[in-house]
Chain A
């Protein structure tokens, strides 16, 4: 059974950092690209970042470029999102997602709240 479990969310002050993790199981992790997608309270979906299976291709939304860094550890079946210089507008539920097309699977998300 495919599972994606996000962790690392919480309340953080503006300007501080947070690192999200996503633990994957039930599939061959290093066969797939992985993504972070977020959803602010009451708002729509926003793709945040994606990373290819071997970390050779990485992309970011303009809203987080230069502040967020995606990475993966295929030996640990884990995906990460290092979030620096956090802003109030980064407050959202952050989902980890396996691939994008057919067979995609999403975790249940971890909530990040940026507030003083």
Chain B
């Protein structure tokens, strides 16, 4: 089974800061990686698919990069509404998909 190691588990940053979250797969998953945002009491929302593609309607301050085993999610300029928990998810290893442990993002 493919394991996803996401870090950090929590992060505190100021409005306007550049924020980076990483996700490492236990084996090569090509670019089969999603990034989700989840706000309290809400279903997760897809932000990035195929490692680097921005989902329709998602602000351009969100971006993703990487392939193989190492992936990065970036918010270029943190906004107050970005406070949420972020998850990576691999979908290469059919028929099992796995999420990272999540990163809780807070405002400093």
Q: Pick the residue among A44, A50, A58, A102 that contacts B97 (CB under 8 A).
A: A50
The answer on a CB contact under 8 Å between A100 and B89 is: yes
| A60 located at the interface, meaning its Cβ lies under 8 Å from any Cβ of chain B in the complex | yes
| B60 located at the interface, meaning its Cβ lies under 8 Å from any Cβ of chain A in the complex | no
Are A57 and B95 CB-contacts (below 8 A) given A62-B1, A102-B46?
yes
Instruction: List the B side residues contacting A104 at CB < 8 Å.
Output: 34, 46, 49
**Smallest CB-CB separation from A106: which chain B residue?**
B43
| A72 located at the interface, meaning its Cβ lies under 8 Å from any Cβ of chain B in the complex | no
Are A45 and B46 CB-contacts (below 8 A) given A57-B95, A100-B97, A102-B53?
no
**Complex alpha-carbon distance, A45 and B43, angstroms:** 10
The answer on a CB contact under 8 Å between A44 and B95 is: no
Interface centre among B43, B46, B53, B100 (most CB of A within 10 A): B43
**Smallest CB-CB separation from B9: which chain A residue?**
A44
Q: Pick the residue among B53, B96, B101, B102 that contacts A47 (CB under 8 A).
A: B96
The answer on a CB contact under 8 Å between A95 and B43 is: yes
Chain B 34-76: CB-based contact to A (< 8 A → 1; otherwise 0): 1010100001101001100101100000000000000000000
**Complex alpha-carbon distance, A46 and B95, angstroms:** 14
Residues facing B in A26-59 (CB within 8 A) are 35, 44-47, 50, 57-59
| A61 located at the interface, meaning its Cβ lies under 8 Å from any Cβ of chain B in the complex | yes
**Complex alpha-carbon distance, A17 and B84, angstroms:** 34
The answer on a CB contact under 8 Å between B36 and A45 is: yes
Are A45 and B87 CB-contacts (below 8 A) given A102-B55, A106-B44?
yes
Contact sample, A vs B, 20 pairs, CB 8 Å cutoff? A44-B99, A44-B100, A45-B38, A45-B44, A45-B102, A47-B89, A50-B97, A57-B94, A59-B95, A59-B96, A60-B96, A61-B96, A95-B43, A100-B89, A100-B91, A101-B49, A101-B91, A102-B56, A104-B34, A109-B43
Interface residues of B (CB under 8 A from A): 1, 34, 36, 38, 43-44, 46, 49-50, 53, 55-56, 85, 87, 89, 91, 94-102
Interface residues of A (CB under 8 A from B): 35, 44-47, 50, 57-62, 95, 100-102, 104, 106-109
